[in-house]
């Protein structure tokens, strides 16, 4: 009797939990769909822009326009003109309103009335989201989709219309809602409820990441395959296939830029590792802890200064009226040297100043690995008759090798980004701006941004990040295999 009652109780509890979970899931799905619909209706859907006429259309505009025969009126210098919205856009608009809404309503009804989970709405949402994303890509890329501009001329859709990024967000939300419906087990919903506040916390960072990381990556990919002109904007510019990439890898100047990036990165790798290892060893062999701490405190300081400040400090020494030149002219009666403007000294200035800035800080990592040496090894070696240099060679040095290898490998992975564009932008003079100072990062600023070479810039940063990604992952694997230190 008792056992049965307990069993019954358990069963009903499980059922209640299940019902609660299913309802919760349906509500989450409905909430996501609702957010998506608000984004779609009130936010942007498509934007018409051609010949200085800009019309932003939200989902609500498109839908209400379809009730007036697919036209949207707008004011142009006091007269009302009409823009014809292509039929497929109207259809897509209605689909976007009805499909997710139907799914959400179905889920909610089914869970509240029949207390049951359903998979069908999940499938539909996924399929719908997929269709939206495909439509998004097709509308933005395919030149054969016809559309009519305000003057009645037939042209390609993407030349005059732009599907807004909010539509992509909308599609992704729909896909996400589908995922929730399909792949979240009802049991997990209890946890989800417990962590509800966490999901709310994650909303802000997620939105920031989508806007400031994911979307720019998408834009960059699009730009890489476009011939950007200011008048047509990003989305209306011509698709040019791989010609931007071909240009990068065939044009003499671009190749020089890439070569100099790699060259400077390599120089920086040498400048960043060798002095740091040497001074880590120097610090390691100092027995007085207080003295060591005092020195370390001082040498870390320059790392925290900006390149602007470093340049300012250095200029006090190297400018024509700086201290070194004052010594040259007044003590040795020589002629002053304008160190900072000399083309042949440009790399030397940069590398030496970056050694000055980073050498102290660079020792930290190696000091950490030196601290890991077991001191008894030295004593054992001494007993075995090993001299000082033998111990240095066989015990001390090998302990920094893994960290050194790790640093080198990661720097190789970062070869296209490690040229130090920020420093160059400050150190460059007009004499070197056209030749020695050109690396990928500075090229992006001086030519890409200032001369509006957006398409080419997109391709350059695309190459930079894709090759960079491949190399970092490769480097990570290699580093793990050889020295056992991964990048993450």
Partner 1 sequence: MVRGKGEKIFEAVCIVLAALLALLCLYPLLYTLGVSLCSEAEWTSRNGLLVLFPTRPTFTAYRKIFGVGSYVLKALGMSFLRTAVGTVTSVAVNALVGYVLSRRDFPGKNKYIYLLLFTIFFSGGLIPNYLVIKELHLLNNFWAMILPNIVSAWNILVFKQFFTGLPKEIEEAAIVDGTGEIKLFLKIVLPLSTPVVASIGLFTMVTHWNNWFDVMIYIDQAHSSLWTLQYYIMINFNNLSQIDSSVIIGGSGVSQLTQRMALTIVGFLPILCIYPFFQRFFKDGVFLGAVKG
Q: Please list every residue from 266 through 325 that binds partner 1, using CB under 8 A.
A: 279, 281-283, 285-288, 291-292, 294-302, 304-306, 308-309, 311-317, 319, 321-323
Q: Which is nearer to partner 1, 93 or 448 (CB)?
A: 448
Which of the ranges 84-92, 123-131, 247-255, 440-448 carries the binding residues for partner 1, by CB under 8 A? 440-448
Distance CA 401, CA 483 (A): 8
Position 151 contacts partner 1 (CB under 8 A): no
For strand 238-239 and strand 226-227, is the pairing parallel, antiparallel, or unpaired?
Answer: antiparallel
Q: Figure out which of the listed residues 330, 333, 344, 481 binds partner 1, where binding follows CB under 8 A.
A: 330
CB 237 within 8 A of CB 221: no
Query: Which is nearer to partner 1, 306 or 482 (by Cβ)?
Result: 306
Nearer CB in complex with partner 1: 65/283: 283
Q: Compute the least distance from the CB of residue 305 to partner 1, in Å.
A: 5
The yes or no reply on residue 198 touching partner 1 (CB under 8 A) is: yes
Residues 204-223 that bind partner 1 (CB under 8 A): 204-206, 208-209, 211-220, 223
Q: Which of residues 387-406 bind partner 1 (CB under 8 A)?
A: 387-389
Q: Is 78 in the site for partner 1 (CB under 8 A)?
A: no
Instruction: State in angstroms the smallest separation of the CB of 33 from partner 1.
Output: 18
Residues 223 to 262 in contact with partner 1, rule: CB under 8 A: 223, 234
Contact between 433 and partner 1 by CB under 8 A: the answer reads yes
By CB under 8 A, residue 77 contacts partner 1: no
Q: Does 14 bind partner 1 (CB under 8 A)?
A: no
Q: Which stretch binds partner 1 (CB under 8 A): 13-21, 54-62, 76-84, 462-470?
A: 462-470
Tell me whether residue 120 or residue 308 sits nearer to partner 1 (CB atom).
308
Considering only residues 350 to 379 of the shown chain, the ones binding partner 1 according to CB under 8 A are: 356, 359-360, 364-365, 368, 375, 378-379
Cα 329 from Cα 147, distance rounded (Å) = 74
Q: Work out which of 119, 332, 344, 488 binds partner 1, going by CB under 8 A.
A: 488
Min dist. Cβ of residue 91 to partner 1 (A): 27
3-state secondary structure 264-283: HHHHHHHHHHHHHHHHHHHH
79/288 with CB nearer partner 1: 288
203 in contact with partner 1 (CB under 8 A): no
Residue from 148, 326, 399, 414 in contact with partner 1 (CB under 8 A): 326
Q: Nearer to partner 1 by C-beta: 40 or 311?
A: 311
Distance CA 283, CA 287 (A): 9
Residue 461 in contact with partner 1, rule: CB under 8 A: yes
Query: Which of residues 98, 202, 352, 401 is near partner 1 by CB under 8 A?
Result: 202
Beta carbon nearer to partner 1, 41 or 416: 416
Contact status: 464 vs partner 1 (CB under 8 A): yes
Nearer to partner 1, 134 or 316 (CB): 316
Site string for partner 1, 334-353 (x = CB under 8 A): ------xx------------
Least spacing, CB of residue 205 vs partner 1, in Å? 5
Among 429, 430, 427, 442, smallest CA distance to 256 is for: 442
Of 106-114, 118-126, 245-253, 452-460: span binding partner 1 (CB under 8 A): 452-460
CA atoms within a 13 Å half-sphere pointing along the CA-CB vector of 154? 3
Write out the chain in H/E/C secondary structure.
CHHHHHHHHHHHHHHHHHHHHHHHHHHHHHHHHHHHHHHHHHCCCEEEEECCEEEEECHHHHHHHHCCCCEEEEEECCEEEEEECCHHHHHHHHHHHHHHHHHHHHHHHHHHHCCCCCCHHHHHHHHHHHHHHHHHHHHHHCCCCEEECCCCCEEEHHHHEEECHHHHHHHHHHHHHHHHHHHCCCCHHHHHHHCHHHHHHHHHHHHHHHHHHHHHHHHHHHHHCEECCCCCHHHHCEECCCHHHHHHCCCHHHHHHHHHHHHHHHHHHHHHHHHHHHHHHHHHCCCCHHHHHHHHHHHHHHHHCCHHHHHHHHHHHHCCCCHHHHHHHHCCCCCCCCHHHCHHHHHHHHHHHHHHHHHHHHHHHHHHHHHCCCCHHHHHHHHCCCCHHHHHHHHHHHHHHHHHHHHHHHHHHCCCCCCCHHHHHHHCCHHHHCCCCCCHHHHHHHHHHCCCCHHHHHHHHHHHHHHHHHHHHHHHHHHHHHHCCCCC
Q: How many residues bind to partner 1 according to rule CB under 8 A? A: 105
Map the footprint of partner 1 across residues 127-146, applying CB under 8 A: none
Residue 274 Cβ, how far from partner 1 at the closest point, in Å?
Answer: 14
Nearer to partner 1, 155 or 165 (CB): 165
């Amino acid at each position: 009797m008792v056992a049965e009652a307990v069993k019954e109780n358990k069963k009903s509890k499980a059922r209640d939990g299940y019902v609660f979970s299913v309802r919760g899931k349906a509500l989450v799905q409905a909430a996501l769909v609702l957010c998506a619909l608000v984004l779609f209706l009130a936010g942007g859907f498509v934007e018409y822009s051609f010949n200085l006429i800009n019309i932003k259309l939200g989902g609500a505009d498109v839908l209400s326009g379809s009730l007036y025969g697919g036209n949207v009126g707008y004011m142009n210098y006091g007269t009302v003109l009409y823009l014809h919205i292509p039929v497929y856009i109207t259809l897509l608009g209605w689909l976007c309103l009805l499909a997710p809404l139907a799914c959400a309503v179905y889920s909610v009804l089914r869970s509240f009335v029949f207390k049951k989970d359903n998979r069908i709405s999940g499938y539909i949402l996924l399929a719908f989201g997929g269709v939206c994303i495909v439509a998004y890509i097709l509308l933005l890329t395919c030149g054969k989709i016809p559309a009519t501009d305000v003057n009645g001329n037939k042209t390609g859709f993407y030349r005059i219309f732009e599907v807004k990024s909010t539509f992509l967000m909308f599609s992704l939300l729909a896909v996400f809602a589908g995922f929730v419906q399909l792949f979240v087990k009802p049991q997990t919903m209890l946890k989800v409820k417990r962590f509800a506040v966490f999901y709310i916390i994650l909303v802000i960072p997620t939105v920031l990441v989508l806007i400031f990381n994911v979307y720019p990556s998408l834009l960059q990919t699009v730009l890489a395959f476009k011939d950007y002109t200011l008048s047509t904007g990003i989305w209306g510019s011509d698709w040019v296939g791989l010609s931007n990439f071909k240009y990068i890898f065939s044009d003499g100047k671009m190749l020089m830029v890439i070569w100099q990036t790699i060259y400077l990165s390599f120089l920086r790798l040498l400048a960043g590792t060798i002095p740091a290892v040497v001074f880590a060893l120097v610090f390691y062999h100092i027995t007085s802890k207080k003295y060591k701490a005092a020195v370390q405190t001082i040498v870390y300081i320059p790392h925290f200064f900006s390149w602007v400040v470093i340049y300012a400090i250095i200029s006090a020494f190297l400018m024509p009226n700086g201290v070194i030149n004052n010594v040259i002219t007044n003590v040795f009666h020589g002629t002053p040297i304008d160190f900072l403007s000399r083309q042949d000294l440009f790399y030397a200035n940069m590398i030496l100043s970056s050694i000055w800035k980073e050498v102290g800080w660079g020792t930290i990592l190696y000091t950490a690995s030196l601290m890991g040496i077991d001191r008894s090894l030295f004593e054992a070696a001494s007993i075995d008759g090993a001299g000082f240099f033998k111990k240095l060679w066989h015990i001390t040095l090998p302990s920094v090798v893994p960290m050194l290898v790790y640093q080198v490998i990661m720097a190789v992975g970062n070869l296209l980004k490690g040229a130090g564009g920020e420093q160059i932008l400050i150190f460059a003079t007009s004499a070197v701006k056209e030749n020695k100072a050109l690396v990928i990062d500075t090229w992006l600023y001086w030519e890409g941004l200032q001369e509006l070479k957006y398409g080419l810039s997109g391709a350059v940063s695309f190459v930079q990040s894709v090759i960079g990604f491949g190399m970092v992952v490769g480097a990570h694997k290699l580093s793990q295999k050889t020295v056992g230190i991964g990048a993450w």
